[in-house]
Amino acid sequence: MDTLTSSPSKATVPAVVARELNTETLLQLATRKIGAIHVKGFYSAAVAEKAAEQAIDHPKLGNYNKKYTSSVGRICMPHIDSEWNEDAAQKYHSEAIGNIHDLRTMFAPHVTPADHVRLLLQEYWPGGANIQRLHGRTCFVGAIRVFKPSTSKFYPHHDRIDEESDAPELAGIVEQLVANMYLRTPTQGGDLQLWLRDPSEDEKVLIRDVEGLLPESVEEPALVLHPDAGDLIIFSSRMLHAVTPSRDSYRIGMAAFIGCYGPDRPLGYWS
């Protein structure tokens, strides 16, 4: 079995999708031997729908900060909105545990899909897993994203915590994955597009300013996945990805970023 350090950032990745979450598929994903893990029916669609209903007018629903992502709502403050700003970071970390507990109430008496995935990864990853700390402070995990019908989308972008923070706990991070657990999805649109390559340096500059590339400026995606409610998809957030507009309904998902530091060190979770 290859270690993470032998192939941390291969330029392109085969368009192969694993259908099961286990130690082998996780290691394949983290070493870029496969493009995604897509588990159908990971979570009860009925429990997901009850949470989705509450998400649409949740008191903690706000919008992302940047130009191209502001069309998407999110419940609770994500780390990206605190990047390089100590006051915002203080707020983010001080609310983190309370926000995790708030989200649990939306799914009670059931476990949240983010908590379920946190436990499974802790069991499957050779080095275990833990909530991420940054400068000794606990991160929030499990942000719910609310895409409105027709208007909300994510343009092609990448997500990398080492471009948002210089916390010493991030030393040795070799890959960043993201787990999305879908609560409500449209039948048309709302596709997840994966390019299975890192953005170029020029693309990174554009993404940093407005949090996305114009879709017509990039080639066709290498892989397109259509999630249904209850599905889990995990992929590398360091590689280019996008979400197309939903045609006929809200698209609501719960997400957790996953930091990989090699197989023998614990994964780190945050949103």
Measured at the CA of 96, the angle between CA 190 and CA 268, to 5 degrees, comes to 70
Q: How far apart are CA 80 and CA 68, in angstroms?
A: 14
Q: Does 42 bind ligand AKG (CB under 6 A)?
A: no
Task: Please identify which residue in 74, 79, 93, 241 interacts with ligand AKG, judged by CB under 6 A.
Answer: 241
Q: Which stretch binds ligand AKG (CB under 6 A): 46-54, 203-211, 235-243, 262-270?
A: 235-243
Extract the tokens encoding 61: 């629903």
The distance of closest approach from Cβ of residue 109 to ligand AKG in the complex, given in angstroms and rounded to an integer, is 26
Residue 31 CB burial class (10 angstroms; 0-12, 13-18, ≥19):
buried
Helices 86-107 and 45-55 cross at an angle (nearest 10°) of 130
Q: Among residue numbers 135 through 194, which ones bind ligand AKG (CB under 6 A)?
A: 145, 154, 159, 178, 180, 192
Nearer to Fe ion, 47 or 267 (CB): 267
Q: Among residue numbers 138 through 177, which ones bind Fe ion (CB under 5 A)?
A: 159
Extract the tokens encoding 55: 């998400």
Q: Is the peptide bond before 14 cis (omega within 30 degrees of 0)?
A: no
Extract the tokens encoding 230: 């209850």
Contact 170, 134 (CB under 8 A): yes
The distance of closest approach from Cβ of residue 253 to ligand AKG in the complex, given in angstroms and rounded to an integer, is 5
Nearer to Fe ion, 170 or 240 (CB): 240
| Number of residues this chain uses to bind ligand AKG (CB under 6 A) | 11
Q: What is the DSSP string of 201-256?
A: HHHHHHHHHHSS--GGGS---SEEE---TT-EEEEETTS-EEEPPBSSS-EEEEEE
Which does residue 255 bind out of Fe ion, ligand AKG, none, counting CB within 5 to 8 angstroms by kind?
ligand AKG
Which does residue 112 bind out of Fe ion, ligand AKG, none, counting CB within 5 to 8 angstroms by kind?
none
Nearer to Fe ion, 159 or 231 (CB): 159
3-state helix, strand, coil in the chain (%, to 5): 30, 25, 45
3-state secondary structure of 96: helix
Task: Please identify which residue in 113, 245, 253, 268 interacts with ligand AKG, judged by CB under 6 A.
Answer: 253
The distance of closest approach from Cβ of residue 195 to Fe ion in the complex, given in angstroms and rounded to an integer, is 12
Compose the 76-115 pattern: x for residues touching ligand AKG by CB under 6 A, - for all others. Answer: ----------------------------------------
Contact 255, 270 (CB under 8 A): no
Nearer to Fe ion, 97 or 218 (CB): 218
Q: How far apart are CA 218 and CA 214, in angstroms?
A: 7
The distance of closest approach from Cβ of residue 154 to Fe ion in the complex, given in angstroms and rounded to an integer, is 6
Please identify the residue of the shown chain whose CB is closest to the bound Fe ion: 159
Nearer to ligand AKG, 67 or 135 (CB): 67
Which residues bind to Fe ion, rule: CB under 5 A? 159
Which residues bind to ligand AKG, rule: CB under 6 A? 145, 154, 159, 178, 180, 192, 237, 241, 243, 253, 255
